[in-house]
Each structure stands twice: as structure tokens, then as C-alpha cells.
Amino acid sequence: MNTVDRRFKLARIAAGYSQRTLAVRLGVSEHIVSKWETGRLTPDAAMRNRVAVELGKQTWEIFAR
């Protein structure tokens, strides 16, 4: 797990969301959220913004390399 993946997961947990809950709120599958957290897939720019808003963070706080 790299730094971005770790920040993503920690932000999700801190917000009190399960992978499933976050997936439902974003309109994606739980499988996609899992892939984001393991670095097998990267959300596009628009989705990164939606994720950050949903988790109460700035985009750079989660996705900056």
C-alpha cells in the first residue's frame, strides 16, 4: 500500500464509512472502492473531487503524491 492508498483508506475510516457505504454514496461498486484503496485503480479527477468532498477533505490531502 502506497501513501495515497493509505491516506485514502484512513480518510474513509475517519469519516466513519465502510467501503460499501462510501461506494453507495459515490454511485460506484464496493469493488471499485477496494481497488482505489489498494492502488489497483485510480479515480479520475472528477471522482477524486467527489471522494474528497464526501470524506470532508481537500483533494490534495488524500491524492497528493
pTM: 0.90
To the nearest 10°, the Cα dihedral for 43, 45, 47, 53? Answer: 120
Residue 47 near residue 26, CB atoms below 8 Å: yes
Residue 44 near residue 19, CB atoms below 8 Å: no
Annotation: CATH topology of 3-63:
434 Repressor (Amino-terminal Domain) (1.10.260)
Residue pLDDT, tens place only, 44-65: 999 999 999 999 999 999 998 8
Determine phi and psi for 61, rounding to 5 degrees.
Answer: -65, -30
Number of C-beta neighbours around residue 17 at 10 A: 18
Q: So what's the pLDDT on residue 35?
A: 95
So where are the chain's domains? Answer: 3-63
